[in-house]
Amino acid sequence: MPNDFRVIDEKLDDARQAVAVSGEIDLFTAPEFKQRVTELIDTGTSQLVIDLTQTAGG
28, part of any domain = yes
When divided into structural domains, the chain yields a total of 1
Across the chain, which has 58 residues, the per-10-residue mean pLDDT values are 83 94 95 96 94 85
Q: State the pLDDT at residue 2.
A: 56
12, part of any domain = yes
Q: State the pLDDT at residue 56.
A: 84
Q: State the pLDDT at residue 1.
A: 46
* CATH code, 44: 3.30.750.24
- Owning domain of residue 11: 6-55
16, part of any domain = yes
1, part of any domain = no
Instruction: Judge whether 24 and 5 are in contact, CB under 8 Å.
Output: yes
Q: State the pLDDT at residue 57.
A: 66
Give the C-alpha separation, 9 to 41, whole Å: 12
For residue 11, the surrounding DSSP H or E stretch is strand 6-11
Residue of 43, 58, 52 whose CA lies nearest to 7:
52
For the whole prediction, is pTM greater than 0.85? no
